[in-house]
Amino acid sequence: MAECRRIARIILHGFHRHYQRFSAITAEAKLHFAKREWHAMQRAARERISFYDERVKETIALLRKDGVDDEPNETLWQDVRSFYEELLQFHPQAELAETFFNSVFCKLFHRRYFHNQFIFVESTLARRIPLPVESEYRSYFPVAEGVQETLRRMISEFDFHAPFADLESSVAQLMRAFQRQAKVRALAAHQLRVDILENPFYRNKAAYVVGRIVTEEQSYPFIVPVLVNSDGELYVDALITDVNQMTIIFSFSRAYFMVECRAPSALVRFLKSIMPRKTLAELYSSIGLHKQGKTEFYRELLHHFAHSDEQLVAAPGIRGLVMMVFTLPSFPYVFKVIRDEFGESKPFGRDTVLSRYQLVKRHDRVGRMADTIEYSNVALPINRISDDLLAELKRSVAGSLEFEGDLLIIRHLYIEKRMIPLNMYLEYASIEETEAIVADYGKAIKEMIAANIFPGDMLLKNFGVTRTRRVVFYDYDEVQYLHEMNFRSLPKATNYHDSLMDGNSVSVAPNDVFPEQLPTYVFPQKRLRDLFMSLHPELADPEFWRTQQARVASGVLPDIFPYPQDIRFLHVKYDEKSPLPD
């Protein structure tokens, strides 16, 4: 018994070291925000991603030093799991500590032990009294002090470490914005309560206040972005009450938030209550707890297998030269495995692909690059894999496969949110939809390059369309930093001999790019090419790309807002004589 308790405490102590470090660097975000230290904010977000794996390795080393062998004593490790569960009975991060235990165990031992006797395949949280959601938010009661004073207190009580440029003006703008919202404008002060999450959500150049208005019938969620001006003073930028816009702010295509949190399960339940379409996996990942997001995703997958009989099939669309992609038709994700051999047009190997996916994982995705969930040694039941897919897997990714009885083991796998491939979307889009999505395709490229990302292969098949009709990039095998590229103009013919030379006669280095070829390369159809050029002619101009490189080199970080420009207060016109609500 003493040995099992010692092992359990070593693992839990390892988790505590991880979460303390995670929390410390997260707490620094508010100072970076107040001081406009944007590069420091991004650097902290990148560094935080690796903390978990470092602590897992450290904990494993301690267990090895303590005498833990490669082959587990089954009775001992069942006792370890049981005592560890006892230690988590009132732990504020119990679900994260369970996942940490799983990570340590799965690195130590063979996958034949990966079941609920030894690890937490199922969370024990369902058998416990849940942590109160109220522990993560505070409530305000307008009936006691009026709407205006409630909003003033709501904003001023956040410790942003910087003063407001004009708090009264921000409060007045918020009040008028709430008044304009059809869903809440008819409510009087005595008919509502306002719940606000205790800590702001920091990302890039903004802090987001997240809350809800509660009435007897229902609740109305909202997000308030707070920005800081060049003088280091704060101002409220907008009021967001549309749930679709809120889900875009919490999108899988954006960097993880920095938000202080003592009870993650309570925080996530609050977020789930205001964005019900978001899964637990997405919400945990959005607040930087991407390992917990992996755990919750795997549970969702097991649940889906248990409640359906459909089979995995090859994903629709053009087959990729680097990745073999498959999916479950009713499950909104795709599974990607690196092929054993690449096409001739891909002059790089497996290690390059792995490093480029890591690059995107740690970079600011600016709402235009899908997050990936990375797994090792994933077991899939063979009877849930269609015959055609199984044959294709054996042909194209045999080096990544193992067979154990009735299971197929995939050694390395990426999972992404499924989207409609952009080329397929355009086949059925109306004229209006086509114009909107081609415009957003160009905007997506501009936002990526402003963030120092060169997509590489910009064919439409490598982009997807989300449920909210946004264009998102998802194929990273040719991704590089913008500053590494050489943007060149196509040579102009100066004599008759030059005019007879084709494009293949031009000397091209590995990182040379000719933007003038982009419209023809991406849009073989003249109708779409002309539309693209009417909307984004600068993307065919090498000088535009070189200008963006210069901005990146000078340290300029772009202002990319995850909400529409037309709802920002600086663009909204008010009737200043209209009375404020109360």
- Give pLDDT tens digits for 315-356: 988 888 999 999 999 999 999 999 999 988 888 999 999 999
The Cα–Cα gap between 85 and 77 comes to 12
pLDDT of residue 271: 97
Question: What is the C-alpha to C-alpha distance for residues 132 and 265, in angstroms, rounded to an integer?
Answer: 9
Residue 575 belongs to some domain of the structure: no
Q: Is residue 103 over pLDDT 70?
A: yes
Q: How far apart are CA 99 and CA 111, in angstroms?
A: 16
Q: Which ranges of 455-560 does DSSP label H, i.e. alpha helix?
A: 496-499, 518-522, 526-535, 542-553
Domain for residue 33, yes or no? yes
Q: Are residues 407 and 442 in the same domain?
A: no
Residues 168 and 101 in one domain: no
Q: How many domains does the chain have?
A: 4
Q: Does residue 574 lie in a domain region?
A: no
Does pLDDT of 52 surpass 70?
A: yes
In-domain check, residue 504:
yes
* Per-residue pLDDT at 580: 42
pLDDT at 578: 44
Mean pLDDT of the region 187-203: 90
Whether pLDDT at 552 is above 90: yes
CA dist., res. 339 & res. 356, Å (int): 15
Q: At which residue do the structure tokens 């539309």 appear?
A: 531
261 & 125 share domain: no
Q: Residue 507 has what pLDDT?
A: 61
- Top mean pLDDT of 11-25, 315-329, 505-519 is at 11-25
State whether 160 and 288 are in the same domain: yes
* Residue 195 confidence (pLDDT) above 60: yes
Alpha helices for 225-347 (secondary structure H): 243-249, 264-274, 280-286, 290-306
pLDDT at 581: 42
Q: State which residues form the domain around 311.
A: 304-419
Domain finish residue from 103, 129, 155 = 129
- The DSSP call for residue 189 is G
Give the mean pLDDT of 562-576.
78
Distance from C-alpha of 430 to C-alpha of 421, rounded to nearest angstrom: 16
What is the reported pLDDT for 505?
Answer: 54
120 and 186 co-located in one domain: no
581 in any annotated domain = no
Whether 166 is catalytic is no
Question: Based on the domain organization, do 13 and 115 belong to the same domain?
Answer: yes
Q: Is residue 517 in a domain?
A: yes
Comparing 134 with 82, the larger pLDDT belongs to 82
Q: Where does a domain end: 263, 284, 302?
A: 302
Q: Which is catalytic among the residues 371, 440, 457, 475? A: 371
Which amino acid belongs to residue 432? E
pLDDT band of 68, cuts 50, 70, 90: confident
Lowest-confidence range among 176-185, 320-329, 360-369? 176-185
Residues with Cβ < 8 Å from 325, sequence gap 6 or more?
314, 315, 317, 334, 335, 336
pLDDT at 186: 65
> Which one is predicted more confidently, 245 or 318?
245
- Give pLDDT tens digits for 275-294: 999 999 999 999 999 999 99
How far, in Å, CA of 371 to CA of 287, rounded?
Answer: 13
Binding residues for ATP: 315-321, 336
Same domain, 491 and 525: yes
pLDDT tens digits along 109-136: 988 889 889 999 988 877 777 777 888 9
Residue-level pLDDT at 28: 96
pLDDT given at position 184: 64
Q: How many residues does the chain have?
A: 582
What confidence score (pLDDT) does residue 577 get? Answer: 43
Average pLDDT, the chain: 91
Mark whether 384 and 364 lie in a shared domain. yes
pTM here is 0.93
- pLDDT value of position 576: 46
Confidence of residue 217 (pLDDT cuts 50, 70, 90): confident
pLDDT at 501 over 90: no
Same domain, 298 and 334: no
Query: Do residues 513 and 555 share a domain?
Result: yes
Task: Reply yes or no on whether the pLDDT at 57 is more than 50.
Answer: yes
**Considering the domain boundaries, does residue 60 fall inside one?**
yes
E strands, 328-417, are 333-338, 373-381, 401-404, 407-417
What pLDDT score was predicted for residue 497?
Answer: 54
Task: Dihedral sign for Cα 329, 331, 334, 335, please.
Answer: negative
**Structural domain contains residue 482:** yes
Angle at alpha carbon of residue 239, lines to 133 and 569, rounded to 5°: 155
- Asked which of 105, 129, 153 is the last residue of a domain, the reply is 129
User: How much is the pLDDT for 188?
Assistant: 78
556 and 490 co-located in one domain = yes
Whether residues 343 and 430 share a domain: the answer is: no
